[in-house]
A and B are shown apart, each in its own frame.
Chain A
């Protein structure tokens, strides 16, 4: 009787649970199925085993996205800090300035930097030079930083602006130098913001294919490009296997990162 009662209490969640099982869990199981079968549907380890040939691409994606995330953190933390310390009206303006590019479609943003950095682009025309930027790793990293910087700044800003102003005073009254206040008090207190920022930059950077297509100039391939190519050419089994591995790696590292913060607000912004 009691069991039935407690089930009835949460009956409102039933459509959602039904929806999640059908449209989240089932599709993932189908990915699993595709990853372990060949084109004819017979069970095979071939796709998973063939992934070793993609190891360099995995490594490159990891390298570029980690560099981009680190740059975002180094640039974004001071920015978030400055915004959080500004006057309230100013804060609002800055946050709006940060949201505008974020709400503008990623394709448009990426495309706009390509127009500037391209071989016959605006930068080269203005300077009268023939610098070759598009097609280098630097251009791809720049694209990732440019596109995802707001995702780093906003959660850190939210976190820093919530820190009690008295913390600063208390720490310096008790003899902390400004540097110590920063490293011993403010930085640890903004850790949950940093972690959601890192997640929100790392995950889209590691899986992007548009940025590398446009700014990589077709000279190198990231893991997102590989999946997209399998999709376009119809090699769905291999594509599924790569997606599966990527998903497992990302969900694992996210759960490890979440261990470091006990806040349950997660990476949600706006």
Chain B
């Protein structure tokens, strides 16, 4: 049974990883063939680094991800606190269902609805769609990030309960002080993991950006899409390899960090 489990794990992880590993291998190919490996070279990386387009797309993606993560974290954390305090059950569930719409809906529908909305907005304020391109993108990304922030903060607030902030109020804090000095530090892990999730969701998004975006604001996934639309060139392999390696490093780092925390907790317990 044990051997069978192990064989099964190897088989499935093998299938999951073979395409990714071949892609990494072929990014070092000396010819531009994507089928046979003719020798090691870094020319695709050189070509990639020589293109300004890649850097602009990377910069755009990062700006967008940082801003939408920050905005959605602020609005989302406040929202979680507000939802927690809502007395009316109906109101609570109404807000929750609306919040979850972008998460439940297929991305393509969210993208379509956002695009139509911004086309209408541009027409009403009398501007070209291109000139509100970045704002449209930022608003869309913030919107689909919000539910992830709320869903990671709300359980923390529920868990924490009211007693701490009531104590703070009794000791003379204003409600605002009680929130920032007492509650917020306690729910910080939830806030941070919501922010990280929002950041990665924004960085990774293709479908919604594809619908909402305009030609003057290209993100990394949009660049990859336009690269794969034409005939295959290995510089796209090089770009993908860099992205995969970055993701891998981030994953390992976050795991080491949480591992350390776990160890510290264990030690503290003893």
Instruction: Find residues 213-233 in chain A having any chain B CB closer than 8 Å to their own CB.
Output: 214, 224, 227-228, 231
Question: Which stretch from B39-47, B114-122, B126-134 is at the chain A interface?
Answer: B114-122
Instruction: Find residues 56-82 in chain A having any chain B CB closer than 8 Å to their own CB.
Output: 75, 78-79, 82
Query: Across the two chains, which residue of chain A brings its CB closest to B18?
Result: A116
Contact, CB under 8 Å: B108 / A228 = yes
Question: Which stretch from B52-60, B62-70, B83-91, B166-174 is at the chain A interface?
Answer: B83-91
Query: Across the two chains, which residue of chain B brings its CB closest to A202?
Result: B106
Query: Across the two chains, which residue of chain A brings its CB closest to B118?
Result: A27
By a CB distance below 8 angstroms, the chain B residues around A206 are 106
Contact, CB under 8 Å: A9 / B87 = yes
Question: Which stretch from A15-23, A132-140, A167-175 is at the chain B interface?
Answer: A15-23
Please report the C-alpha to C-alpha distance between residue A207 and residue B206 in the assembled complex, in whole angstroms.
Answer: 13
Q: Count contacts on A: residues with CB < 8 A to the other chain.
A: 80
Q: Given A12-B85, A111-B240, A203-B106 in contact, is the A82-B5 Cβ separation under 8 Å?
A: yes
Instruction: Find residues 101-122 in chain A having any chain B CB closer than 8 Å to their own CB.
Output: 101, 103-109, 111-113, 115-116, 118, 120-122
Of the candidates A14, A108, A236, the one whose C-beta lies within 8 Å of that of B224 is A108
Contact, CB under 8 Å: A82 / B248 = no
Query: Across the two chains, which residue of chain A brings its CB closest to B228?
Result: A111
Residue B195 lies at the interface, judged by CB distance under 8 Å to chain A = no
Residue B125 lies at the interface, judged by CB distance under 8 Å to chain A = no
Contact, CB under 8 Å: A116 / B112 = no
Query: Across the two chains, which residue of chain A brings its CB closest to B140?
Result: A23
Contact, CB under 8 Å: A24 / B101 = yes
Please report the C-alpha to C-alpha distance between residue A104 and residue B206 in the assembled complex, in whole angstroms.
Answer: 12
Q: Given A13-B78, A96-B255, A100-B247 in contact, is the A115-B102 Cβ separation under 8 Å?
A: no
Q: Given A103-B204, A247-B106, A268-B148 in contact, is the A14-B19 Cβ separation under 8 Å?
A: no
Instruction: Find residues 163-214 in chain B having any chain A CB closer than 8 Å to their own CB.
Output: 193, 197, 200, 204, 206, 211
Q: Given A20-B98, A24-B98 in contact, is the A240-B200 Cβ separation under 8 Å?
A: no
Contact, CB under 8 Å: A231 / B211 = yes
Contact, CB under 8 Å: B151 / A82 = no
Residue B23 lies at the interface, judged by CB distance under 8 Å to chain A = yes
By a CB distance below 8 angstroms, the chain B residues around A98 are 16
Please report the C-alpha to C-alpha distance between residue A203 and residue B169 in the assembled complex, in whole angstroms.
Answer: 46
Contact, CB under 8 Å: B107 / A207 = yes
Instruction: Give B142 Cβ to nearest chain A Cβ, in Å.
Output: 8
Please report the C-alpha to C-alpha distance between residue A253 and residue B222 in the assembled complex, in whole angstroms.
Answer: 31
7 pairs of A and B residues whose beta carbons are closest in the complex? A13-B82, A16-B79, A207-B106, A12-B82, A27-B113, A112-B19, A27-B117
**10 new A-B pairs (CB below 8 Å) besides A31-B112, A85-B5, A115-B22?**
A13-B81, A30-B113, A92-B255, A105-B221, A109-B19, A124-B35, A207-B109, A210-B206, A243-B113, A268-B152
Which residues from chain B sit less than 8 Å from chain A, CB to CB? 5, 8-9, 12-13, 15-20, 22-23, 26, 34-36, 75-76, 78-79, 81-83, 85-88, 91, 95, 98-109, 112-117, 119-120, 139-140, 142-143, 146, 148, 150-152, 193, 197, 200, 204, 206, 211, 220-221, 224-225, 228, 232, 236, 240, 243-244, 247-248, 250-252, 255, 259
Which residues from chain A sit less than 8 Å from chain B, CB to CB? 6, 9-17, 19-21, 23-28, 30-31, 34, 75, 78-79, 82-83, 85, 92, 94, 96-101, 103-109, 111-113, 115-116, 118, 120-122, 124-125, 146, 149, 203-204, 206-207, 209-210, 214, 224, 227-228, 231, 236, 239-240, 243, 246-247, 250-251, 254, 266-268, 270
